[in-house]
Amino acid sequence: MLRSVVTGVGGYLPEEVVTNHDLAKIVDTTDAWIVERTGIRQRHRAAPGQAVSDLALIAAQRALQAAGRTPVDVDMIIVGTTTPDLTFPAVATILQRKLGAPQGIAFDIQAVCSGFVYALSTADGFVARGRSRCALVIGAETMTRLMDWTDRGTCVLFGDGAGAVVLEPGQGEGTTADRGLLGFALCADGGKQDLLYVDGGVSTDGKVGKLRMQGNQVFRHAVVNISEAVRAAAADAGVEVSEVDWFIPHQANQRILEGVARRLGIDEKKVISTVAEHANTSAASIPLALDQGLRDGRIKPGQLLLLEAMGGGLTWGACVLRL
């Protein structure tokens, strides 16, 4: 059977680093509060004029290079993003042009922080059916552009960045030893919209809007929802959570990462955490964490990975894959 195999990974973080101390100059907060409640120490911020497609472009080029592919090989681009360059066209088609990819389909997925997990699962529907030979799956965000810089409860949490993977079909035996995406679980509950949303949009007030969040309510749902999705994805893949080599969560808050790991009995040494340096980069956070783990040598080919996320919607989900 065909499997969707990750053959290359790349990430990009904008140059500017904004520390907690920098934010303490503009809102009533402290480095100690942010570190204690979230684990975040700094975040990256896109430069004026740097659009989300520019971030995605560098991540995509790095992922293609790692896979030994060129833009000419790419036949599908899916971008998980909440912060597109323009209302339309999709970031994916803008990226197709900037990348110089001459063929294929391109579209965005809007599932907020779950965007990468949703995009990867969607791409599997093409790649594992032989309908895409070389897919770019990307999470890219400029979340700092959605911040209300007077709201200390949200503006300290988010950062900008992009992460990309190349997915290619690989022949598997239909066992959990196969390389590729082995299982996933996706969920949504539109009834919880008020907990996390942006208060503007094209067909309402015509504005971009600012991110609004009832942080403690989101927190309460996160640990329970994510744990359920992880168990469902593991069951879909036919593996035990305890077999997983690396747990690569959406990087929202160190306390959520630890809470989910504890609930699932995952050793904290198996958790890849970038939340201190990257903050919450929404759909970009999982591929950025994967990239970091690969580059520092912790994650190795052949290992079993578990990815999970929850975001606005609410949306949540998890994927199990063998690298």
Catalytic residues: 113, 250, 280
Question: Closer CB to ligand ACO, residue 113 or residue 299?
Answer: 113
Do residues 230 and 264 make contact, with C-beta atoms less than 8 angstroms apart?
yes
Q: How far apart are CA 103 and CA 84, in angstroms?
A: 21
Q: How far apart are CA 302 and CA 117, in angstroms?
A: 20
Residues 232, 238, 243, 247, Cα dihedral to 10°: -40
Q: Which stretch binds ligand ACO (CB under 6 A): 52-60, 97-105, 200-208, 210-218?
A: 210-218
Strand partners, 105: 76
Cβ-based neighbours of 178, under 8 Å, separated by 6 or more: 1, 3, 170, 172, 322
Output the six-digit token pair for 254.
């160190």
Q: Does 113 help bind ligand ACO (rule: CB under 6 A)?
A: yes
- Site for ligand ACO (CB under 6 A): which residue of 35, 219, 224, 232? 219
Output the six-digit token pair for 240.
């035990």
For ligand ACO, the binding residues in 34-93 under the rule CB under 6 A are: 34, 37-38
Q: Does 292 help bind ligand ACO (rule: CB under 6 A)?
A: no
- Site for ligand ACO (CB under 6 A): which residue of 16, 22, 33, 199? 33
Write the DSSP assignment of 90-120 as a string of letters.
-HHHHHHHHHT--SSEEEEE--GGGHHHHHH
* The pairing of beta strand 315-322 with beta strand 180-188: antiparallel
- Count Cα neighbours of 286 within 13 Å in the Cβ-side half-sphere: 32
Q: Does 106 help bind ligand ACO (rule: CB under 6 A)?
A: no
Q: Does 252 help bind ligand ACO (rule: CB under 6 A)?
A: yes
Q: Does 218 help bind ligand ACO (rule: CB under 6 A)?
A: yes
Question: Closer CB to ligand ACO, residue 195 or residue 294?
Answer: 195
Number of residues that bind ligand ACO (CB under 6 A): 23
For ligand ACO, the binding residues in 148-177 under the rule CB under 6 A are: 152-153, 156
- Closest distance between ligand ACO and the C-beta of residue 11, in Å? 19
- Closest distance between ligand ACO and the C-beta of residue 112, in Å? 4
Q: What are phi and psi of 142, to 5 degrees?
A: -120, 70
- Site for ligand ACO (CB under 6 A): which residue of 253, 254, 274, 292? 253
* The pairing of beta strand 76-80 with beta strand 135-142: parallel
Q: What are phi and psi of 191, to 5 degrees?
A: -70, -15
- Site for ligand ACO (CB under 6 A): which residue of 282, 304, 308, 320? 282
- Closest distance between ligand ACO and the C-beta of residue 254, in Å? 9
| CA distance readout (Å), 32 to 22, 147, 173, 259, 278 | 13, 21, 51, 20, 17
Q: Which stretch binds ligand ACO (CB under 6 A): 83-91, 170-178, 250-258, 284-292?
A: 250-258
Token look-up 């497609």 returns: 53
Question: Closer CB to ligand ACO, residue 99 or residue 261?
Answer: 261
Question: Closer CB to ligand ACO, residue 156 or residue 272?
Answer: 156
Q: Does 29 help bind ligand ACO (rule: CB under 6 A)?
A: yes
- Closest distance between ligand ACO and the C-beta of residue 221, in Å? 9
Output the six-digit token pair for 218.
């989101």
Q: Does 104 help bind ligand ACO (rule: CB under 6 A)?
A: no
Q: Which stretch binds ligand ACO (CB under 6 A): 56-64, 239-247, 248-256, 288-296?
A: 248-256
The binding site for ligand ACO (CB under 6 A) comprises 29, 33-34, 37-38, 112-113, 152-153, 156, 196, 215-216, 218-219, 222, 252-253, 256, 280, 282, 311-312
